[in-house]
Amino acid sequence: MPGTGAQRGGPWPPVSVWRTALVGRCPRCGEGPLFDGVLSVAPVCTVCGLDLRAHDAGDGPAVLAIFVLGALLIGSAMWLEFSAQPPLWVHAVLWPAVAVPLAVAVMRPAKAALVALQYRHRRDEMRIG
């Protein structure tokens, strides 16, 4: 039965979506790495064999990054402008340098959380490889 861990050493204890999101581990076993790169989900968990190719995080992490970081960065840029009134080049250099690392830092746990939620609610599509 997929998702129960009956194959390869289960049954698997439930893994928190928060733990999966923050640590970037497999949503089933909580041990194997979820990511194969910075934002690329690994095709298969190296520990439990969960097939992660069926995940579909879509644009969810990017939308979260746009809304959350957009509000924070625009607010910060306006605060800096009204309080210190720096030259335009300061904004042009500062905000992209802040936005890109923060976007990756937000999208990685958001993508992990979406994969974990899909595993929890659509287990039949994520099978053992």
Q: How far, in Å, CA of 98 to CA of 105, rounded?
A: 11
Is a pLDDT exceeding 80 seen at residue 60? yes
| Nearest of 2, 49, 45, 4 to residue 25 by alpha carbon | 45
- Domain ranges for the chain: 17-125
pLDDT digits (tens, 9 = 90+) for 80-120: 999 999 999 999 999 999 999 999 999 999 999 999 999 98
**d(Cα 101, Cα 107) in Å, to the nearest integer?**
10
Dump pLDDT digits (tens) for 69-89. Answer: 999 999 999 999 999 999 999
Cα angle at 62 between 29 and 75, to 5 degrees?
120
Question: For residue 106, what pLDDT is reported?
Answer: 94
Q: HSE of 23 in the Cβ direction (CA atoms, 13 Å)?
A: 14
SS3 106: helix
Task: Find residue 33's DSSP bridge partners.
Answer: 25
**Residue 92: HSE in the Cβ half-sphere, 13 Å Cα cutoff:** 3
Q: Where are the alpha helices (H) located in the chain, listed in sequence order?
A: 17-23, 60-84, 88-121
Lowest mean pLDDT among 21-30, 46-55, 103-112: 46-55
Between residues 118 and 7, which one has the greater pLDDT?
118
